[in-house]
Structure 1
Amino acid sequence: MKIKDKITQTLASVAIELQEISSEFYIIGASAMILSEIEIGETFDIDILTTEANSLKLQQLLSRYIEVAPKTKENDLFRSNFARFHLPLMDIEVMGDLQIKKNNVWLPVCVEKYREIFIGNLIIRIPTLEEQKRILSFFGREKDLKRIPTLNKYLP
């Protein structure tokens, strides 16, 4: 199965739960690039950026899939109300009120410009290509910076 199909089928499988939270959620990272028709290969999870309230609600609504006490790799760089859900095709990681540490100051991660796509009846917000580039640069990790040249090929 193609990775874009895995992403869309995973999101469709939790569409009812996603429709129960406020619309303030965005798919970011590799999954956003793939949903934007950018060829980057595989990804193993779908990153959802949202509010703390939405994260808490999803933890309740998707409790059957939740990973108890998930380990995160970059606690020195990121903090959020974090949850990981193990779904049949791929994981979903939810970050409520995500912040990144820059120069010893915690700064909020926000999506300023986005577009909407439909997966069935579900409206999914993904950052515009320019916004995806801005977020990758803001994160500044090696793996994020490596994706920028690929993204640049798709920018006008």
Structure 2
Amino acid sequence: MTADAMRDAQDPWWVISSAAVALHGVVPIEVGDVDVLMSVLDALRAMDRLGVVPIKDGTSSLFRSTLFGRWETPPLVVEIMAGFHVATSAGWTEVLPRTRVSRPFDGRVVYVPDRAELSRILRMFGRPKDLERVRLLTS
């Protein structure tokens, strides 16, 4: 459903976090939701088409997005993020992958950062579950 919903995107988009780790073929991995990074314009169009209302206060002490919404129709919630940043020792740092690897899934294509970049992103997040995902990706 995510690949279908993103098919009209004009700019690159990526699945990150646990779903991206799973799409790299890592097992076992628990996937609680699907995190999608995309441009603000594509996120606005996708949310409008899907009936997703942007969440006004999607900021936490660790993450913030210019635009954030939760698509709750699929079996796994899809979190759509644009202008996504993580708090680091250097301040708020934008998460915008440079690599884009296509992965087939259920007859469709989804995109993820390559393993090395995904590991760097997860390390930047720094939570225990993210560091465990790094371990699984690199073992």
For 2:54 and 2:98, locate their aligned partners in 1 and report how far apart those are by CA, in whole Å: 32
For 2:100 and 2:74, locate their aligned partners in 1 and report how far apart those are by CA, in whole Å: 28
- Residue in 2 that maps onto 1:11: 2
- TM-score of the aligned structures, taking structure 1 as reference length: 0.77
For 1:77 and 1:104, locate their aligned partners in 2 and report how far apart those are by CA, in whole Å: 13
2:85 maps to amino acid: Q
Q: How do residues 4-153 of structure 1 correspond to structure 2 at under 5 angstroms?
A: 10-12=1-3, 15=4, 17-63=5-51, 66=52, 69=55, 72=58, 75-80=60-65, 81-103=67-89, 105-119=91-105, 122-153=108-139
41 and 102 in structure 1: CA distance in 2 versus 1, 3 angstrom threshold: closer
- Residue in 2 that maps onto 1:7: none
3-state secondary structure, aligned to 1:93: strand
For 1:106 and 1:38, locate their aligned partners in 2 and report how far apart those are by CA, in whole Å: 29
3-state secondary structure, aligned to 1:27: strand
3-state secondary structure, aligned to 1:125: strand
Query: Percentage identity across aligned positions?
Result: 25
Cα offsets for 1:97-153 (capped at 9, x unmatched): 101122362211111222112446744211111111111111112221122221111
**Structure 2 residue ranges without an equivalent (≥5):** none
Higher helix share: 1
- TM-score of the aligned structures, taking structure 2 as reference length: 0.85
3-state secondary structure, aligned to 1:41: coil
For 1:68 and 1:54, locate their aligned partners in 2 and report how far apart those are by CA, in whole Å: 13
Larger of the two Rg values belongs to structure = 1
Deviation at 1:86?
Answer: 0.7
